[in-house]
Structure 1
Amino acid sequence: MSSFHNTLGKFHRRWCFGRVLLILLLLVAAYAVAMLLHGWLDYKFAFSQEAREKYNLILFVILGVVGLTALVQTLRIPREKIAALADEKLSDPRKRILAAASLEKLESQPDATEMQKFHLDRALLDASTELDKLPASSRMPFRAMGLSALAVFAIGAVIWGISHWAPEPFRVVSTRVLDPSSDLPPYSPLRFEITPDAPRAVYGGEAVVQVKITGGEIEHDVVCLIRDPLTGNIEQATAYREGKTGYARKFENALAPVEFAFATGRARSDWHRLDVLLEPKVSSAMITVTPPAYTGRAELTYPLEGGEIKALEGSTITLALESNRPLSSGKLELKALDKGKDARVEKVDGNLTGEHGVRFSWVAHRSSKVAAVIHDVRATPSAKPLELTITTEPDQVPSVELASPEQMVLATPNTELPFLGEVEDDFGLAKVSLVRALLGYRDRSRVLADSLVKREYNFEEPLKLAELGVEVGQILEFYLEAMDRNPSLLGMGVSDVVRVKIISEDEYAERLRSAVQLKNFTARYRALAEAIRESQQALKELDEAARAGDQQAFEEARKKAEAAHAKAEALADKIGKDFNAFEMEKRLSDIAKEAARKLGTNKETLGQLKLDDGGAAARKQIEQMQQRLGGAQKKAEQAELDAELVRKVGDVMEMASRFKKIYNTQQSIVERMGTIAKEVAGGNTRNSGQLDGLARVQDRNRDALEQFALDLKKRAEALPDDFGQMKLDVHEFLQKLEELDIPDPMHTSSEMARKGKSLDAATNALLALSLLERMMNQPDNGFSSMCRGDGPPKFGVKPDVAGTMQQMLDSLMKRAQGQGKGKTGGAGGGVGGSGQDGFSVAGNDVNIPVYGPDRLAFSETSSGKSTASSSKRGVGVQRSSQKPADQIAPDQHRKSENAKLLPENIPAKYRNAVKRYFSQEDEASTPQS
């Protein structure tokens, strides 16, 4: 291959490379001009994305075809054309380069002569030499390349100038034409501010978006463009104006995400996305209630069906929720039902238990409203909270009741008190104690049961006061105290305080006498006499059977007599040991003891008695038994007669107490009417309305006086003949009562009171009172003396009979005194004695239970027979040896600060007991008027 071929090839390659560079520069210049045109057209007409993409595609196709064609033509230029171009660049008229290129083809001919080869080589060498003389500037199209580069630079300068002169339009337009697939809106001086920036709507719900347009005048209608993100379809909707530059669009029934933008004319906002949130919903809920450990109750888990949960206070509540959506979190709020106590809201964060589950756990200290909200993974909250109510049941303190004895009792020092208590707790007891104290001194506690595991405990135990070393006048206090297993140490319950006042046996006897009814006074005497008579009658029937010699009749009579003796012996034994309230009962007790001894001897004899030898021996033994029992029978019958005598005299003495009661009532009426009369005289009529009630009381007192006269006459006629002087005194008393005509001023007083004449009413009431007092103060009249309470007249009776009469009269007069006197009250608008119409009885404690030695209660039946029943007042015991450890000794006074308890520091159920405890103590320490 010749050197010409290589030299022409180098020239060919350089020239083609220059042509390629020239084509590229031309293509760049053409592209820049076309894009400037594209930008100008988009700035003017705001091409759509599709138009911009088509424009760019057509431009790329044209430039690609033109450039590719030019490149192909450049790269495929033949060597002859390149040789001619070289001759043109060398200005060679001989065309030696072209000729050499043509001769070069002959070089490969085999039949060429030597001369031909010489001339051929010479021509190629000369052409190669000439081609090497071609300057470098002529080897490439530098001129055209320079012009093209200058054109590219000029276009670049134009683009740079536009970018600095109008940077914002240039940025928008350049982005839109260079990246036609972008969502950048066409350039406009208007600015769109959309709120919210990322709107959301719950599935099936609605959302409102707003836009504020600034930067220029709005010359066209504002519309909302809605684009489907899946298909790209765009719909145009109306935007509603809000203010001068504000517009809004409401999206309703949102079921799928959409893209939206606001536009006016050629101006448009950026595209925004409206997300549709799928609501998380509760598909299932489980409740677990874990009671406090001390209750011993098992954990309970169940599905939530209703809206209320009941749990013990202090229980741990666990709420487990499952949702139809994957969850990210959960919130729970607790609001107290009783807002007055605590208005704050307690918040509980949920713990995820899986992709779809969340669990809340808290301790229920109060009844609350619960609202739970769950959030899915997109932070979408549930449409409405799950609401329920937690009702807490407080752990009640133990219920402690000391059923026996009563809250206030009287007892003698040797009494045995029946203590009966019931303790119950809702979950379980821990300890039960009996607390005892001497009033004003330190309490002492004795544990009755400890470490209990049951809910109920019954306490029944007699308390022997003699073992405690009590003394008359002391006041003892007892109460039960129970603790449950609540670790808060507030679960303590106490019973009401039982107070026991120690009284003497004399006071006990006096209280028994005040409770005895006159109609039953002879019952115990008659009961003993009847029992002995029945035994004697049984012996008489037995003697007749023995005389008849009938073995069967004798055996039946013997058993009957033995039964009668056993019954009489038991009754006599009880009466003999019975507590004596009246002086006569001491004689009856001795008679009963003697009779019991003789009845017992007869009973033993009856058990061995047999009908032998024709019955003579048996009849002799029966006669001995009759004689043995005869003395006791006479004594019992005599005591029965004496008791009947006391009862008949007691009927008259009771009338004296009734008169005293009438007097006391009249005295109360006078005091109240006098007070009202003074108030009215002073111009104060506030209490004048009570006159009508006082008139009714005056009428009742007048009726009581008239009935008193009738009853006294009847009872005096029933007196035995031996009491002629008493009959005469009663007759004189009744005659004087009739002469004074006391009911007349009583009637006038009530009439004046009804008419509102307080002074006249008080004057007549006072007149009646003075006449009653005149009746009581009659000298040398035994009945008047009894009315004054000076005692019965001296009768020719046995000393114990006289002493019993005196005791009976004292009890009757005390009873009348307690019922007749007292302080005035305001009940019913009236005033009077006997606790009626607003009159309150003071100082009457006959209703307080009394415990003392055992005493049988006898009563008279309609047939005149006596019946006996055991008294429930108490059980008498013998004084036993005392142990110092068991005695309640006043060894330590209570400290004053211990008595000053703050209510808030005392358990709720304990407060009432403490309040009663100290109120009773105050009452006991306050002297009665």
Structure 2
Amino acid sequence: MSSIDTPNPSTGRTSFSSVLRPFRRRWLLLASTRMLLWSLAAVVVIWLTAMWIDLVWALPDEVRWWVSRIAPPAALTIAAALVVTRLVCHNDETIAEQIDQAKGTGGEIRAGLQLESRPQPRQSVLTLGLASLAIDRSRQLAGSISAGDVFRSETLRRPSIVLSSILGAVILVAMIVPGIAKNQVQRLLSPTSDVPPYTGVLIELQLEQDSVLYGDDVLIRVTSSGARVDRMQLVTRTRPGDENVLPMLPAADASDDGSESQWQAMLSNVTEPLTVYARTGRSRSRYHELSVTMTPQLLPPTVRITPPAYTRDATYEGPIPEYGIKSLAGTEVAWRLSSNRPLATGTVELKYRDGTTESLRLQPESDVARSFLSGQLDAESSTVYGSMPLVRPGQFTLSVTDVDGITSRETISGNITLHQDQRPVVRITSPRPVSLAIPEIRIPVTIEGADDYGISRLSLYRSLNGSPASKMDLESDGTRQQLARWNLPLGRYGLTPGDEIQLFARIEDNDPAGAKGAESPVTIVRIISRQEFDQLNLRRQGIESLQAKYAASQRHLEQLAEALRAVDEAAKAAAESGTPAAQQALHEKLAAAEQAAQAAAEAMEKFSHEAMPIDVDRELTKRLAEQAKQIQNLSEQLASLKADDPNSQQPLSKQQQEHLRKMAEQVASERNELQQNAVQPLEQLQQVMPLIVDQRRFEQIVRQQRDLERRLNSLNTAEEPDQRRIAELESQQQQLRQALDQLLDDIETHARALPDQPDLEKLRQTAQEFVEAVRESAAESKMMSAQTGLLNSEFDAAHDDAKTAADILESFLGQCQGMGNQACENCKMSFNPGSGGANLGNSIEQILELMGMKPGASGMRPGGQPGMGFGWGAGGGYSQRHPGPNNVGMYGAMPSPVQSNSQGRGDRTSNGVASVHTGSPGDGQPDAVDAAPVDAGGGQAQQAVPGKYRDKVSEYFRQLAEQLGE
């Protein structure tokens, strides 16, 4: 029989606590996990509840902070406390009991644990042995059981399902409404950040800039989307917490349904930092911080520039000119500097070109401030003023300092430029620098002076044949532009052809530091005879000068006819009424008719003594003299009808009225005769004269081409060629070819310009046929080949081509002469010699000779240019009209072909020919001259220069004239 040992704790057996330790750890793990899952579920539920409440009623930031920051640790703390509490209450006996229940051991493990932990009483050895066996049995049984079989993980299923369900619901909601979910999560997890509550309306606020200068305005734009918004408010909050609400104005709708719209508002005069946001109902935008820069800003300054009084310039007030301040020394400059901040002072730093510096202090209140503010006593605190005179050129720099002593970061700089009072300029615009005049006329003298600021004196100097010049002061009003006119009475001086008058003008400005003067170039007026004047005038104007006096005579006759018609009407009225007023009117009409007849007779008599050395003019002036006598007789008859006393004037008898009608018929007959036998034929001659000139030009080109061909024959290919001569010959051939091409163009132009008259149609047709024939010929191509041969040193070929071109051109001489002769025949037919009209005779040849177009004058002009006594035109062509020196002024008694007679006046039509008639000369003092177009050498050029550039142009020409004079 074996012995039963008494249990002894000191032996090496494992205690029941060591056996139950894995069960305890398993239970603790499952209990902690279960509590953690429930805690997380509780936290999520709390958060969801808070987010839902915040979605319905926006929770304050503090509540959301407590929910997001305190709820999680509080739930974990409660769970941990519960675990610890259960852990304290959950001892080995409880674990043994749970094991017995799980495995159905009938309490055996719990009994063994109790036996082991119970104190050992003093009992028998048998009892103790049996207790030891029971304990060992229980220990072995507990060791054979797994902790996972007792404490299963299924206990975590429920909290896991609950937590997963909550999270799944959250994820599903986030997928359905991600905007709401994201917004609420941000508001809950970041309670201190600026996350607006979700309302379905998204408001985005935009600032042009986050920082503004003190006192500036800020434009704020807001865009709302998500739902239609009817109104929007802008809220500004200062740092102390004061809020100001402003309504915003709608700008535009960005969507058709109005779900997206734009708003704007202007914050004026921002002087402190602000927090701004936009709101509508419960919706608002994020907060935006708007800071303010306190440094003063220098705003665009205002300057007032007052020139010296003698300049008569207006005062300028406005922004600084783009190129700085430019004026005379002594100009007063007043400054006005403004800022966005209250200012204490302003500074104008001056740095002169000589290296010296100077500083001008500007103050808020001063005499300058009162003048700027139109007499107000108090100046603005944000504006400073000051003034200074301009003394030296240099640079200026502007800055301001506010009341806190802070100086503006930016500055404004510019240049100071001092102008010099320039010398004046003066010139005589009429007569021209070189002029020709007959002895008995009055020449208009026009003097133009200019100065940059004012003219104080204007004088005219004149001398005769080199005698000492006499001075005559002209009236001056002190302005910058002076125009003085004076008539030079040549008839008073007893001049003869060959005398020479010299004129020049002097001008002085109004510079208070000392007047500066200038003198014009000398104008020379040479006296010529009537015959020389007629020849020069015909050379310049051609047939127009021949036609002018007959057109003027016709105008006198028209005026006389009109006066006679007025007398006839007045006579009828006087005979019917018999009133004194009618008799007075008749007397006046008779006096006017007598005066018109006397003027016509004198003019026609004068024209009859001015016959040119032309056959047709000699013939027509005889008829003009006869008509002058008849008109003179008519004037005497009109005088006999007029009583000396208007009150005693009796009505005209029937015999007198019949005589008056006969006089009117006589005047009409004389006018028609003059029109048919002189005016119309000369007009037709003027129309066909260009083609006659073209014939002479073609003849000269043919002669020059033949002459060139003969000189080309002297070139020898065997000898060393003279390259300079070859170049000259090639240039002459090119000029002839260009002249021919220009001539053909002119013939076409002149032919098209002929009036549509049956007797001129044949002339037009022959001229056009001539041009087509010459162009279709090989003349121009042969002339080009001759040029090419000369360039390639193929002299024989060049000569042959030049000869062929000359032969071709000579073959057209007959046709060309036919064209010109046809024109001449047309003229002769117009003059109608068989009907008693004037005989043309050699008039055309005489006119061409006087125009400088005498055939065969020369073969080649100096310098290698072709010529035949008239000018070589642009592009190689001949100058058709006015070949003479057109820069020479001409003054004589030649009537204008368009305008009636005038006293001492030139016009564009007459090309500088003054229409002056002899008469009683004036007293030589300055007087008014008719304001007609001045001679082309003078006034027209002045009018073409804009006023603001005229001074500079005049100064330029004055300096140029001085340099040329030197």
Which of the five TM-score ranges fits, normalised by the shorter chain? 0.3 to 0.5
What's the TM-score, normalizing by structure 1?
0.44
Structure with max Cα Rg: 1
What is the TM-score with the length of structure 2 in the denominator?
A: 0.43
